């Protein structure tokens, strides 16, 4: 005897879908600024204009909602950097890119990273920066997926480029360290205190481009100074 087929699934109803989305967006904003422990489900429910049990109804638990919010952020990050990661792998697999080509690819990746952190025209910009900062501080397993996205699609291809510049394997410690340092130049801009110190409330396209061009300049200077051990 077959199980009864439910014709309606959660999220199917237009009203329910809207509620779900409203909860997720509110949770994203609150979790990003207050963290998991610092945000209460009551606060989320109130600001989202729903009742408390709606959270359990749609996301199972507070942690389920947290995971959903992080997955959302992770998807956005992936969307921004994965295409460039793929191009890097292709270029490295294909043949022997020249030094300027390698540097250009690295700069492209860094540009994407800075857009991700700074471009206010992209949705949930601030939440994304804060969640990335939170990965270092909050040690819930719930944040692991976001960390893994960054490791696999940002650090790995970037250090592959730096490794090629140095004529060393991508997992060589010096290569990874140098890559982290280069990326650190961009990462500093997902710090809330830094942005406040700059007085940058709204950021705007011109500032994004200014930061990108400066980091590119620095990165190029670093990479051109790199000497491969064979040389």
Partner DNA sequence: TGCGAAGTATATCAACTGATTGACAATATC
Partner DNA sequence: GATATTGTCAATCAGTTGATATACTTCGCA
Stretch that binds its own copies, among 5-13, 97-105, 160-168, 206-214 (CB under 8 A): 206-214
The rounded Cα 181 to chain-centroid distance in angstroms is: 17
Determine which residue in the list 1, 2, 7, 231 makes contact with DNA, applying CB under 7 A. 7
State the CB neighbour count (10 A cutoff) for residue 185.
18
Alpha carbons 59 and 7: distance in angstroms, whole number: 20
SS3 helix, strand, coil % of the chain, rounded to 5? 75, 0, 25
Beta carbon of residue 54, minimum distance to its own copies (angstroms, whole number): 24
Q: Using an 8 Å Cβ cutoff, are 15 and 25 in contact?
A: no
Nearer to DNA, 31 or 189 (CB): 31
Name the minimum Å distance from CB 42 to DNA: 5
- Is residue 142 within 8 A of residue 36, CB to CB? The reply is yes
The 137-156 contact track toward its own copies, x by CB under 8 A, reads: xxx-------x---x---x-
For its own copies, give the closer residue by CB, 13 or 192: 192
Residue closest to 110 by CA, chosen among 224, 168, 189: 189
Binding residues for its own copies (CB under 8 A): 33, 35, 37-38, 130, 133-139, 147, 151, 155, 173-174, 176-178, 180-194, 197-198, 210-211, 214-215, 217-218, 220-222, 224-225
């Amino acid at each position: 005897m077959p199980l009864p087929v439910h014709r309606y699934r959660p999220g199917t109803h237009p009203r329910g879908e809207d509620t779900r989305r409203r909860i997720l967006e509110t949770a994203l904003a609150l979790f990003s600024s207050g963290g998991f422990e610092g945000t209460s489900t009551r606060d989320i429910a109130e600001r989202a204009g729903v009742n408390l049990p709606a959270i359990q109804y749609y996301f199972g638990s507070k942690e389920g909602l947290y995971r959903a919010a992080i997955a959302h952020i992770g998807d956005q990050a992936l969307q921004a950097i994965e295409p460039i990661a793929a191009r890097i792998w292709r270029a490295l697999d294909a043949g022997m890119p020249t030094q300027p080509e390698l540097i250009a690819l690295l700069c492209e990746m860094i540009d994407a990273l800075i857009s991700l952190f700074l471009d206010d025209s992209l949705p949930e910009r601030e939440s994304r920066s804060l969640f990335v900062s939170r990965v270092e501080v909050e040690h819930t397993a719930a944040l692991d997926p976001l960390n893994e996205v960054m490791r696999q699609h940002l650090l790995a291809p970037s250090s592959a480029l730096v490794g090629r510049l140095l004529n060393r394997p991508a997992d060589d410690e010096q290569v990874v360290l140098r890559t982290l340092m280069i990326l650190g130049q961009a990462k500093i801009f997902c710090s809330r205190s830094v942005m406040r110190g700059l007085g940058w409330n709204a950021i705007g396209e011109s500032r994004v481009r200014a930061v990108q061009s400066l980091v590119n300049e620095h990165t190029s200077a670093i990479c051109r100074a790199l000497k491969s051990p064979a040389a």
